[in-house]
Structure 1
Amino acid sequence: MPPVKKIVLWLLVIFALYAILVSPDDAASLVGTIWDILVNGIKNIGRFFDTLLSR
């Protein structure tokens, strides 16, 4: 991995840890929102293929 990618990756990890330590409630809310978006997306994809295959 080129050094620039490593540096950016470390900066993102440090920022994520800082955000969690400074405001854990906001970080938990953000993770919950992202989880809901992923779950709804997977459900919608499943519903699409179910409808597509049932016709």
Structure 2
Amino acid sequence: DGKPVAEKRSSVDSPKDLSNDSRLRIGFGPQDFFKGALREVRVYSRPLSESEIESLASL
């Protein structure tokens, strides 16, 4: 339905440099980690509006 379910910010958030070949790890950290699989990942250079999120949820 495109509605946020949860949000969590980490105290180690920092901008990531995506212009090189280094690994981008999502859901990885010393204590908190994501256990599961991601079917599709998109990276945007800006925050999406609620209407953009709702539109993507309908794909």
TM over 0.5: no
| Larger RCO: 1 or 2 (CA < 8 Å, sep 6+) | 2
Higher helix content, 1 or 2? 1
TM-score, with structure 1 as normaliser:
0.24
Could you tell me the TM-score, scaled by structure 2's length? Answer: 0.23
Larger Rg: 1
